Amino acid sequence: MSAQPTAVLGAGAWGTALAVMLARSGVDTTLCVRRQAQFEALARDRENRAYLPGVTLPDSLRLAIEWPDAVAGAGTVVMAVPSRYARAALSRVAQSVRSDAVLVNAVKGIEDESLKTMTEMMAVLVPHARACAVLSGPGFAAEVARGKPAALVAASRVEEAAWAIQHLFASRSLRIYRSTDVTGVELAGAAKNVIAIAAGVSDGLELGSSARAAVITRGLAELARLVEAAGGRRDTVMGLAGLGDLVLTCTGELSRNRSLGLALGRSGNVKGLPAQQEGRPVAEGVSNARAIRRLAARHRVEMPIVDAVYRTLYEGEPPKAMVEELLSRSLKAEF
C-alpha cells in the first residue's frame, strides 16, 4: 500500500465511498468538497446524507474546501467529479499537482465536446504528473462503502502506477485487478451507462427478462466494437470493466442509469424524467449517450442501441418506437 497521502476530488456517492474505504485502510485521505453548504453538512454530521446516507465518515478522514492545498500534499489524486464538471474542477488544482503524483480517474464518462476520456483530459491539463490511471468496474458506492465484497480494475499505461493503485485501494472486501488497457477500461465504463438506460427502458415497458438479456448481450457487442476500434482490447470488454459493470448497471436496483431508463419506459417520454441537477446524483448515461454516439461515428462503428437511446433522450422518440426499431432491423449473423 502506498504511504503517500491521497486527495479525492468530489464528494458525491462514489468519491465519498472511495475516501471512506481508503481512510478505513489507514491511508492518509482528504475528501475535497465543492460546495460550502455540503462541506459544512459533512463536517457537522460526519455523514454524506445527500449522496451516501447511513455511512459514517471515519474520524481520520479529513475534509477540504480549499482543493489546491489538499492536492499539493497528495501523492495520489483521485478524480470523482461527474464528467461534465471534471475539466473545470481539475483546472482549479492543475498547478498544485505534484510531479511525482499519480492521477486516478474514478469517473465513468467522456467529455462531451472533445470526446476525450477522463485520463486523456487529465494528461492535457496536468502533463507534469507522473502517471494517469483509471479505477473502474462493477461497484455500487453504497455497497462498497458498507464493506460488501466487490472487485474492480485499476489500469494505467505505466505498469508501476497500475500496481500502486491496485495496492492502494485493495482491502479485505475490495479486490483490485490491474491492467494496462486504459482505453478499453474507460470506454467500456462510459458506454455501458447508455446500454443500462436501454435496459431500464425495457424493464419500464415490462418487456421481460428475455428482452433485458438481449439488451445486455447486444450491448456488450457494441462495447466491444467501440473499444477495439479505439485501440482497446476485446478481453477488457469481457472482464470487470466491461461485462461485469454492464451486468451490474443493467440489473442492479442501485443503478442510476437503469433507474432513469425505468422511469423513461414507464412515463413514455423524456418530459417525465427527473431533472439532472447539480447537488443530486447524476446518471452519466444521459451525457454519455451524446458523446458515445459521436465517438462511434468518428470510428465508423455501428451502435444501434446507443443510437436508439440518443434519439429517445434528445429527439423525443417514444421508448416503444425505440424498441420496435431495434426489433425490426434486418436479420444478420450474430458474429
> Which long-range contacts (C-beta less than 8 Å, at least 24 apart) are formed by 323-329?
323/201, 323/202, 323/205, 323/207, 323/211, 329/304
> How far is it, in rounded angstroms, from Cα 161 to Cα 131?
7
Catalytic choice (116, 148, 192, 271): 192
E strands, the chain, are 6-9, 29-32, 47-48, 52-56, 62-64, 76-79, 102-105, 131-136, 150-156, 174-179
Residues 6+ apart with CB under 8 A from 44: none
Q: Taking each helix axis as running N to C, give the angle between helix 182-204 and helix 304-314, from 0 to 180 degrees, rounded to the nearest 10.
A: 60
**Does 192 participate in catalysis according to the annotation?**
yes
DSSP-derived secondary structure for 54-101: EEEPPTT-EEES-HHHHHHT-SEEEE-S-HHHHHHHHHTTGGGS-TT-
> How far is it, in rounded angstroms, from Cα 92 to Cα 219?
36
> How far is it, in rounded angstroms, from Cα 118 to Cα 135?
11
Q: Are 222 and 195 in contact (CB under 8 A)?
A: yes
Question: Which residue shows C-alpha cell 493503485?
Answer: 165
Phi, psi of 8 (to 5 degrees): -105, 120
Q: Which residues are catalytic?
A: 192
